[in-house]
Amino acid sequence: MTGPGGKVAIVSGRGVLPALVAAALDDPLVCAMDGFPPEGLAPDITFRVERLVPFLDHLSDKGIETVVFAGAVQRPRLDPALFDAATAQLVPALLPAIQGGDDALLRAVIGLFEDRGLTVVGVDQVAPDLVPGAGILAGTVSAADEKDAARAAAIVETLGPMDVGQGAVVAQGLCLAIEALPGTDAMLDFVAVTRPGLRLSPAGARGVLYKSPKPGQDRRIDLPAIGPDTVAKAAGAGLAGIAWLAGGALLLDRQATVAAAEAAGLFLWAREP
């Protein structure tokens, strides 16, 4: 159970990412939030947010020194009846973050773990192969695609201080959608439904999904992720490809994702700023 900084725990959510991170570590302790089981990985512990302090105590008892967050979660519905006394005392301090955006809440969560003497590291620190450097991994990027990606990147960067989302879709210079709380899949589903009614030139650029961490975001948690499902959604939305900030997004199952993009005729581009 050793890794960077001693014994390591993975605080996991849904999806394949926790299993990919676990494969890069030596027998980590896998801790799943109740209701958000990881894919292809059996949790050692399942915990609830209402009993966060006992969970943190358990990590200490297990000799955990380092924690990595991996996987997708949504804000859980909290049951007031399940709070223990110690965790209930944290609620007033956390309430402003809970009522804010995702980044504010995640910063607060990291702070709770660090207050217990735990070192929180990013996925890129324990599994760097999941974070591609700059380059085109599939397909061809046209000059028009480059312009759409630049426009989308500017939109994401501008909205970053508002703590809204990590993605945008731009086609022919027009913003078709921005990512909000429902996430990337919901954004691409929206584009797929609404695109036929838009007055886009049939001969023009098909559009780009761009993803990036928010400016100033703590990259130890909630990095954007791209996988085969993202490719399928982007294809369904009629886009030409997917671009992301090089070094700022996770590529899940690279071989399958690249193969899916090539089969769908989409490009994958880790873009330098």
Same domain, 146 and 255: yes
Same domain, 183 and 76: no
**Of 191 and 219, the one with more pLDDT:** 191
Cβ neighbours of residue 256 under 8 Å, at least 6 residues apart? 227, 228
d(CA 69, CA 118) in angstroms, rounded, equals 12
Same domain, 83 and 159: no
Note every long-range contact of 177-180, with CB atoms under 8 Å and residues 24 or more positions apart, other chains counting: 179/211
- 247 sits in the region (left: phi over 0; alpha: psi -120 to 50; else beta) called left
Counted domains in the chain? 2
CATH at residue 221? 3.40.140.80
Q: How far is residue 155 from each of residues 5, 174, 209, 212, 243, measured CA to CA in Å?
A: 37, 11, 12, 11, 14
Domain that holds residue 154: 131-271
Same domain, 137 and 206: yes
Out of 123, 157, 175, a domain closes at: 123
CB 272 within 8 A of CB 246: yes
The pairing of strands 174-178 and 167-171 is antiparallel
Local confidence band at 1 (pLDDT 50, 70, 90 cut-offs): very low
d(CA 49, CA 52) in angstroms, rounded, equals 5
Out of 123, 155, 174, a domain closes at: 123
Tell me the pLDDT tens digit for each residue of 54-111.
999 999 999 999 999 999 887 777 788 999 999 999 888 777 766 665 666 778 888 8
Same domain, 149 and 267: yes
Same domain, 71 and 155: no
Q: How far is residue 260 from each of residues 29, 72, 130, 146, 228, measured CA to CA in Å?
A: 32, 21, 17, 21, 6
d(CA 10, CA 19) in angstroms, rounded, equals 10
Report how far Cα 10 is from the mean position of its chain's Cα atoms.
15
Residue 100's pLDDT is: 62
Same domain, 86 and 182: no
Residue 181's pLDDT is: 83
CATH at residue 17? 3.40.50.20
d(CA 192, CA 195) in angstroms, rounded, equals 6
Q: What percent of the chain has pLDDT over 70?
A: 95
Tell me the pLDDT tens digit for each residue of 11-57.
999 999 999 999 999 999 999 999 899 999 999 999 998 999 999 99
Residue 108's pLDDT is: 82
d(CA 185, CA 177) in angstroms, rounded, equals 12
Both tokens of 193, joined, read 């439904």
Tell me the pLDDT tens digit for each residue of 126-165.
999 999 999 999 999 999 999 999 999 999 999 988 878 8
